[in-house]
Every structure is written in structure tokens, then in C-alpha cells.
Amino acid sequence: MSTPELHLIDQAVAQAHQAAAFWAESGRQARAALLDGLAIALEQQQTALIAIAEAETSLGTTRLTGEVARTAFQLRGFADEVRAGVPYMRIDDDAVAGAPPAGRPRLTRVMQALGPVAMFSASNFPFAFSVLGGDTASALAAGCPVVVKAHSGHPRLSRAVYEVAQGVLAEQGLPQGLLGLVEGASRQAGLHLVQHPQIAAVAFTGSYQGGKALWQAANQRPRPIPFFGELGSINPLLALPEILERDGEQLASTLAASITLGCGQFCTSPGVILLLEHPASQRFIESLAQALRPLPTHPMLTEAMRRGFDQGVAHLQQAPAVRPLFEPLADGAGPAPRLFEIQAQAFIEQPELREEVFGPAAVVIRARDVDQARAVLDAIGGTLTATLWGFEQSNEQTRSLLRAARGIAGRVLFSGVPTGVAVTHAQQHGGPWPASTAPQTTSVGYTALERFLRPVALQDAPAWVLEARP
């Protein structure tokens, strides 16, 4: 990377650093007004922005319109959190006279904004996980400026949304550095941003390889910083024979649509279908193959993603323990769906068979019994979601499998499919490694702002210190 490009990154971070103290001390009205203003501006410009997004991503107007609505919704939701005082919450313990341990000084626990956040945009959600997406909204709500690393899959859209946001900042008389944008697809650009001494935290959504490299860079700094990364997930779905006997054909149709939704480019796309040996399971596999094979897909987001999908499919095709469940149709606008079966013991023993294939593909695993099914789940290690169909009754089997699912997943579903993530207070979008680098946090939902705050205890603080808190 040339020196001028590095200079642009340094300049954006410097502006964020200059705005950090001001924004950390800003009150509810200013923060909420900014978030609301960004939502309004995004909606006002959505026709032009969606046209750019469609040209760059091929995701379709319907999908992109819904994504704009979600992005505006969560911006307003974080504004409501600010008005409710969530980033300003404090805990007061009055002084107690006497000797310890009963006696104590007065302690007030407050929340401190971390400082400038480097936010890496995702490819598959060009609005909701990009310039004004959930990471940016939650960081601004927490009192942190944001430097966005634009994704190379939608550079024109990133620049256009950034300019809309800059218009809002100017209109409200706020520092330009509250939201910066850096561009450039090279690995060096990302590393330079993460290692910049004035960056205080990183939010990342993307590939395992890229995310792991940046996570390591964040931890190898002279002063390591928090890295909130979402690195990939294969999202197992386990269906018990009883529900497949009752409603297998409809569930197969629902699952096929989820596998191909957005050309399979959802971080919550169901990639592993786990079944117990049973005639109903065999019928379900046949129905799933029949439903999935003819479904059309649109072009993948980038050529690199398409190459990654093709390489992942080729790897499965060459593995001795894997067999295709149907001969795919010829590729159309996008890649034809794929469905494979992997021997359960091989999946457990061979880590390379558990790698995510990002795109319209899934694997089926048939476990001989509950113990082997649990071993399959344990082998996955970490995932954003686990879906459990047919768990209406409490018994030793369902309790055992639920424990295994909760042990690896950030979100456990008992109906429906995992594609689609509600923006709520109870949402959890994160999981054990490799799903995320900080499984105790979420990147979706209103508790996401907690990532960018740290607690500070003020002991025997004078009145002016406590009154100064927004």
C-alpha cells in the first residue's frame, strides 16, 4: 500500500480521536438526535442508495428495501436506548461508617466510552452491517466515534451512505470525525487500521481467515484492544423423527428456501442438517433434495466469494466420506444449490469437513443414536445458531441434545429457520469460537452497545464529578 493511502487512514483516525472526548461526554439529547437524524436521512435517500446497492450486490430491490428499513429501525432503537439512559447507567453504594468489611467508602460505578472504534463492514448486508449498520449505531450510542472500513464488495454504496451521514453531522453541528470512512481492499489497510494506537476497539464481520488475522493483530499491539469479531458459522439444524413424520415435507420446503436465501450468503444460513437414523429421516432427506435442487439463485456478492464457494464444494466432492445427494442443475445467474451427506464419524474426526461453505450448500449427517448426535454438535465447537425441531416434550433425549446445543450456540431455535435475526433486547448474535471472538457479547440487538463501554468505579467522588455525568 502506498504512503498516501496510509495517510488517509491516519487522518480518519486522528479526526475520530479528536472527537472522542467530546462525544464520550455528550448527553442524551445530542446522541439520540444524531441517531434519529441518520435514520431519517437514510430513508429519505433510500431510492438512490438502493439503486447503487442493487448494481453492486445483485441482492434485489425487495431484499435491499427491507434492509434499509431494518437499518433505520435499529438506529432509532439505539436512540431510544440513549434516551432511556442505558449508556449512562450507574450504580451507587453509599458509604457505611465503621471498619471493613462492613464499613466502606462511597462507590459509584459509571460507564466510560472506550474511544474510537474501527468497524469492518460486511459484504452480505450492505446497509445493516455496513457504514450505518448495527456496529456503527451501537458504538455511537455508547459515545464512541467510528472509523468504517468500507467493504470492497460495495464501495460506491459505502461512499454514498457516508456522504449522507456527513450531511447529518454538518446539519447538527457535530464533528466530522464522529464517522470516518477508509477504503482499500488490501490486507495491509486493515492491519494498519487495527494497529493504529488511537483505535480503542474493533468490530468485525467477515471471513474466518481475515477475522483471525485482524484479531491476532489487535492482541499483538503494545496495548491490546477488544476485538469483537464474527468469523463464520455452520449453524446446525437437528430434527427429530417425530416431527419429520408429522410435517416432513413442509419442513423440507422451508429448509430449502432458507439454505438458498440470499444465495446462501447469510451468516446464519443452515449449513449442517443433523438427523437420527429413522425411516422418517430418510424421507425428509429425499424431500429436501427434491425441494432444493431446482431453486434458482442470484449472483454471489463478489467474484472472490464465488471462488470460495466453488473451492468449498470441490473440497467436499473430493472427500471420501462425502457423497452428493443429487446431481446439481447447471448454474444459472448464480450457483446451483448443492446438498451432500457426510458420514457422522468422519465429520467428528476430520476438522476440514466442518469448514463453512459460504453459499447455497448444506450437508446432511445421519447419527446412529443420540450419543453420536451429541458428539456431532460438540465437534462443531462454536456457532451463531443451533435449530432444534421436534423438542416439544421434555425427556432424557431432548434434554441431552439441548444441553449440547446450548454449549455451542449463541441462539437456539425451537421452530422456524435461523436466517433472519430480530433486533431486540433479548437477541444474541455471537457464539463460541469460531462464531465470534467474544461470545459474551452480541453484534445484533440493543445490548450490542455494551461492547463499547467499560465500567469505572468512582470512590468518594466530590459532588461536581457525579453531577457532571450526562
| Residue among 81, 144, 263, 267 flagged as catalytic | 267
Domain ranges, ordered by start, for the chain: 3-231+436-467, 236-413
Q: Return the closest-CA partner of residue 111 out of 463, 447, 435, 464.
A: 447
Cell (9 digits) for 315? 473440497
| Active-site residue (options: 67, 183, 230, 356) | 230
286 annotated active-site: no
81 counts as catalytic: no
- Over pLDDT 90: what percentage of the chain? 94
- pLDDT at residue 184, as a whole number: 75
Question: Which residue pairs, CB below 8 angstroms and at least 24 apart, start in 73-76?
Answer: 73/39, 73/423, 74/128, 74/133, 74/134, 74/137, 74/423, 75/35, 75/36, 75/38, 75/39, 75/42, 75/132, 75/137, 76/35, 76/36, 76/39
Q: Is the pLDDT of residue 175 over 80?
A: yes
- Whole-structure pTM over 0.85, yes or no? yes
Match domain 3-231+436-467 to its CATH number in 3.40.50.970, 1.10.357.10, 3.40.605.10, 3.90.280.10: 3.40.605.10
- Do you find a cis peptide bond into 351, omega within 30 degrees of 0? no
> What confidence tens digit (pLDDT) does each residue in 203-229 have?
999 989 999 999 999 999 999 999 999
244-260 confidence digits (pLDDT tens): 999 999 999 999 999 99
What mean pLDDT is predicted for residues 361-390? 97
- Which residues does 445 contact at the CB level (< 8 Å), separation at least 6? 422, 423, 424, 425, 426, 427, 428, 429
Residues 392-442 have pLDDT tens digits of 999 999 999 999 999 999 999 999 999 989 999 999 999 999 999 999 999
- Using a pLDDT cut of 70, give the percent of the chain over it: 99
pLDDT in tens, 334-346: 999 999 999 999 9
pLDDT at 4: 74
Confirm if 78 and 35 have CB atoms less than 8 A apart: yes
The region of weakest confidence among 23-37, 122-136, 183-197, 443-457 is 183-197
Instruction: Write down the residue that cell numbers 458509604 correspond to.
Output: 95
Q: Which CATH number fits domain 236-413: 3.40.710.10, 3.40.50.2300, 3.40.309.10, 1.20.120.80?
A: 3.40.309.10
Q: Is the confidence at residue 135, as pLDDT, over 90?
A: yes
pLDDT at 185: 65
Mean pLDDT of the region 308-318: 96
Per-residue confidence at 2, pLDDT binned at 50, 70, 90?
low
How confident is the model over 270-293, as pLDDT tens digits?
999 999 999 999 999 999 999 999
Alpha-carbon distances of 120 from 91, 156, 180, 320, 356, rounded to whole Å? 33, 16, 12, 37, 20
Report residue 1's pLDDT band, with 50, 70 and 90 as the boundaries: very low
Confidence check: pLDDT of 457 > 60: yes
* Max CA distance (Å), the chain: 81
**What's residue 187's pLDDT?**
84
pLDDT at 348: 97
